[in-house]
Structure 1
Amino acid sequence: MKRRPPSLFHLATLIAMAGLLMLVPACDKLKELLPKQPPQQEAPPAPVENPLTAEEEQLQKGMEGEGTFSAKVDFGEVPKALPFELNRSSVVSILLYHDFVERIPRNEMMVSKGVFRAQMQALKDANIPVIPMSDLLAWKKGEKNIPEAAVVITLDDGWVGVHEIAYPILKEFGYPFTLYLYKKYVGGAGRSMTVDQIKEMLANGGELGSHSVSHQAMAQMRRSKSPEQYQAWLHDEIHESKRWLEETFKLPCRTFAYPYGDKNADIVRQVMEAGYDAAVTVNPQKLNWDTHAGELPRFTQLGDQDANFRVATSFYGGGKSIADSRFIKTDAVNEQGEKLVTLKPEPNATIADRLPLIEANLAKIGPIIPETLVLKVGGFGTVLARYDPNTQVVSFRVPQKIRLDSCNVMLSFRRQGADKDELVSWQFKIDKKAAYLPQAAEAAPSAPAPQSPAPPASPKA
């Protein structure tokens, strides 16, 4: 068989292999010329640690615990929120007004503009808080506290004089109020308020109350109807008035005013079962926390004779009313620019001491009659204060820690030769959170200072 001659590819492959064989001896000679590596040594054995002592083991476990080295800083115990304390000792007077005129009232249901303004000014000068009906309801439910002595203003029926005369004065003083309206008189003819006028008042301090549908004596109507007719009528007077008022004014109607104060136990029950939180009468009395919510009393203001107003504002003990006193403003000064009365704690000040010393310096007033001094402190009533005739300083150390966030103080006295008492009233606040801090507790007096009666006779009750 004839052999083929080798291709060019085969010849190139044979030449390359021959070259590689020639390089092997050269690489061996190159290795001889390179520095030789030292022989590899075995790794030394791991050191053996001494066993931990029992104390070291305990320390090790503590250091391995979670959070040992976390970036947490202990700033001490965080004060807990103070528990809410309901003050059940407050006393409230609800004032009842009907209609208003510019000058001389034509009947007892009208009060003149001047007398109404004077009464509102007297409340302000005496520092008697005017609170909304909603605050009174919240207090009755145990949800919030109200001042020790307070007034609620109510306006019945919906006379246009309420909008034209009383409303601007109430806005001026910033006093809240409640409108008691009956359906058939709202927006009617004559001297009734329009829906828009009522909406304006409700948007500026007013709250909504029902005064029935027809304003008829509810208990007496039983005589003119059958038992079935009477119950149907009574249900409508109570329920329909609430529904219509809430639908018309888009506000809750939470209280009811009995027309003419005419009611009985069954009517009171039905009113409360209809979803009202409270109902008001025309009985001239103050109310307290225990007063039945369905029979809250009110003082009706009869014309310009302010006898009921005097009784309603007698929060000072001994029948003393703000209408019986002249007022001294807390910032009043004499001709030399000196304060007439220096008060401690200062008016509107915030203090941490829950056992404060209350003082009133009357030296700039001139000689007074000591036995006319009457000091009343919120939460304690009329108190036995100390009077120093040389310095004319009246003082009283609060004997028990003040529970509320603020404290009202009222002091009345008569100057020698005067025919009327004068009254100064102020309020200070308590920072109860600060009062609970350790430094406040250390600074507070350990025991109240003993009190002495005002010479030559103790203050009036």
Structure 2
Amino acid sequence: MRLKLVAVPVLLALILAACNKKQKDQTIGEGSTPGRGASVPPSASAPPTVAPVATPTAPVKVAIDQTAQVIVYGYHRFVNQVRRPDTEITPQMFEQQMQELKNRGISVIGMQDFLAWKRGEKNIPPRCAVITFDDGWKSQYDVAWPIMKKFGYTFTMFIYTEGVRGGHFGGGEAITWEQLAEMRDAGIDIQAHTETHQDLRKPYDKVAKKKLSPPEYEQWLQNEVGRCKETLEQRLGIKVNCFAVPYGFYNQHVKDVAKSLGYEAVFTVYGQPITYRSAMDSLGRYLIEGNKPKVFADAIGMIATSSGGGAPVAEIGSSNIASKPADGETIRNPLPLISANLSAFGVIDPGTVTMRVSGLGAVPASFDPKTNTVSYQVTQKLRDKCSVIVEAKSGGKKVEAHWTFAVEGSGATTSPTPKK
């Protein structure tokens, strides 16, 4: 009997020691790091297996065709009876032009594909066109869009926000926000064209009908260029990275403001073929008018001889050649002396210097190797918007520069966009 009484406490002590050990082992298995020699009990979950980290591979570099060329067309309103040919065109003529692009083998690409090519991120066909519609006319939705669908073409809408239905200029012929949202959902690119469609160089607010002081002008300019972008992004939930200046009027300050507000590209109405190295702050568009079908044909002719894969062309920015008239300038004299300093081209072969002027073709320009200046005195009155292309060979390689200007009083930039 005494033996049994002694054995009971001993058994209780052994059971208690076993429980304490089991609890300790469980605690180690649940979260702590076991010490050397410690083992995880079978009842505890095994630690998850960590997969080896894959070494990131470098992205495949896209082979970019730097000899490709792009023309950008700009349209406004589509009507059966043209009353304002500076901003109107018939649906029949528009459809014929879209067919002509197809017949000539010119690929219509989207704005964002064009920008990706300019960034060196994506390749494009050798000869391309980008189609743009300005302001926000209802006929762009009702008339032009179905025609574009027929060809499978995409396009970009440059919208000035107070011209949308319900805005200060948004009358019955204006597009609506609902229509813009429908186009957005279908993949149409929508970009900025200011708030109220005014000459951004002048310190005058035509809506408020007042001359602006320097501080007022700066705030007004910020609103016109920046608030338009914000409105489009907020109302449509999109990213806006392109800006088209109204009437093609701009200066360096306007371009600087646009860049500071986050625009990647600025478009004008001074048409010219766009190359891989064209400056992004003054990309020229060919503005199509109902009574000037030759503008459309001339634009095609500017790139028709390009088949891609040719010898690389180095392009010099217009700001580096001291061109006269200057790029983007509006002049009064229809018979100007056109000149440029080609020092930035390098050592030039004088016999290879050529100059082309839109509407005139190749002109008999003279080149002075002492000053590296090429010049041509115009003998036929220039009209509308003029593009100049200067080419030469330096070190056996082709180098070119181009710029545009307008002639005042010719109708190139003086016709206001009709209010909606």
Report how far residue 222 of structure 1 moved.
5.7
Separation of aligned partners in 2, 1:173 and 1:143:
26
Instruction: Give the match for residue 144 of structure 2.
Output: 166
State which of 163, 180, 189 in structure 2 corresponds to 1:207: 189
- 1:268 has 2:268 as partner: no
Unpaired segments of 5 or more residues in structure 2?
A: 1-57, 206-210, 312-420
1:258 to 237, 245, 254: 245
Residue deviations 1:257-295 (CA, integer Å, cap 9, x gap) = 101111100110110110111110000211111111111
Q: Distance in 1 between matches of 2:185 and 2:295?
A: 29
Once the two structures are superposed, residues 362-420 of structure 1 have per-residue CA deviations (whole angstroms, 9 ceiling, x without a partner) of xxxxxxxxxxxxxx643128xxxxxxxxxxxxxxxxxxxxxxxxxxxxxxxxxxxxxxx
Which amino acid is the alignment partner of residue 251 of structure 2? N
Deviations 1:179-201 (A, max 9, x none): 01111111122210111111222
Cα separation, partners in 2 of 1:81 and 1:270, compared to 1, 3 Å: closer
Q: 1:378 aligns with which of 299, 308, 313?
A: 308
1:45-56 alignment runs, 5 A limit: none
Whether 2:95 is the aligned partner of 1:117: answer: yes
Distance apart, 1:81 and its partner CA: 8.9
Matches within 5 A, 1:33-432: 83-187=61-165, 188-221=170-203, 224-314=211-301, 315-317=303-305, 377-380=307-310
Aligned 8 A contact 2:109 2:128 in 1: yes
Using the TM superposition, give the Cα deviation of residue 103 of structure 1 relative to its aligned residue in structure 2, in angstroms.
4.3
Other structure's SS at 1:155 match: strand
For 1:221, the aligned partner's letter is: P
Task: Write the letter of the residue equivalent to 1:172.
Answer: K
Kept in 2, the 8 Å contact 1:175–1:205? The answer is no
- 1:202 deviation in Å? 2.0
| Corresponding residue SS for 2:196 | coil
CA contact (8 A) 1:95 1:300 kept: yes
Higher RCO structure (Cα 8 Å, ≥6 apart): 2
Q: Which amino acid aligns with 1:316?
A: A
Post-superposition offset of 1:119: 0.6
Q: Secondary structure at the match of 1:294?
A: coil
* Kept after mapping to 2: 8 A contact 1:284/1:308: no
Contact kept, 8 Å, 1:93 with 1:286, in 2: the verdict is yes
What amino acid sits opposite 2:279 in the alignment?
H
Secondary structure (helix, strand or coil) at the match of 2:65 reads coil
* Deviation per residue, 1:405-454 (Å, 9 max, x gap): xxxxxxxxxxxxxxxxxxxxxxxxxxxxxxxxxxxxxxxxxxxxxxxxxx
User: Any conservation in 2 of the 1:103–1:113 contact (CA below 8 Å)?
Assistant: no
Percent of residue pairs identical: 34
Q: Structure 1: any 5+ residue segments left out of the alignment?
A: 1-79, 318-375, 382-461
Q: 1:141 Cα deviation (Å)?
A: 1.0
Helix, strand or coil: the match of 1:175?
Answer: coil
Change (3 A) 1:235 1:88: same
Report the 3-state secondary structure (helix = DSSP H, G, I; strand = E; otherwise coil) of the residue aligned with 1:179.
strand
Maintained 8 Å contact 2:158/2:191: yes
Task: Classify the secondary structure of the residue corresponding to 1:313.
Answer: helix
The 3 A distance-change label for structure 1 pair 231 and 103 is same
The two structures have a TM-score, normalised by structure 2, of 0.56
Q: CA deviation at 1:210?
A: 0.4
| Mapped contact 2:65–2:308 kept (Cα < 8 A) | no
For the residue of structure 2 that corresponds to 1:276, the secondary structure is coil
| Count of equivalent residues | 244
2:201–2:251 CA contact under 8 A, matched in 1: yes
Distance in 2 between the 1:191 and 1:131 partners? 28
Write out per-residue CA displacement over residues 15-46 of structure 1, whole angstroms, 9 at most, x where no aligned residue. Answer: xxxxxxxxxxxxxxxxxxxxxxxxxxxxxxxx
**How far apart are 1:203 and its partner, in Å?**
2.2
2:184·2:190 contact (CA, 8 Å) conserved in 1? yes
Residues 83 and 257 of structure 1: CA distance in aligned 2, closer, same or farther (over 3 Å): closer
Query: How far did 1:305 drift?
Result: 2.6
Task: Give 1 or 2 for the bigger CA radius of gyration.
Answer: 1
Separation in 1, partners of 2:60, 2:197? 47
CA RMSD of aligned residues (A): 1.9
- The residue type equivalent to 2:259 in the other structure is M
Render the CA deviation track for 1:270-328: whole Å, top value 9, x for unaligned: 101101111100002111111111111000001143111111111223xxxxxxxxxxx
Q: Give distance in 2, aligned partners of 1:81 and 1:259.
A: 39
